[in-house]
Amino acid sequence: MKGFDGYEAAFVNFRLMAGDVWSRAQAVKTLATLK
């Protein structure tokens, strides 16, 4: 696809994931509410 750089997209995705890291307590609380 013209104009799309997979390498740059990988960095953008990494930044999005790394920008919101949950603590263990937050993850447990969030997952418990999904049950």
DSSP state of 2: T
The one-letter amino acid code at 6 reads: G
Helices (H) and strands (E) in the chain, counts: 2, 0
pTM of the shown model: 0.41
pLDDT at residue number 1: 57
- Each residue's pLDDT, cut to its tens digit, for the chain (35 residues) gives 567 788 888 888 887 777 777 889 998 999 999 87
pLDDT at residue number 10: 84
Domain boundaries, the chain: 1-35
Residue found under tokens 């953008």:
12
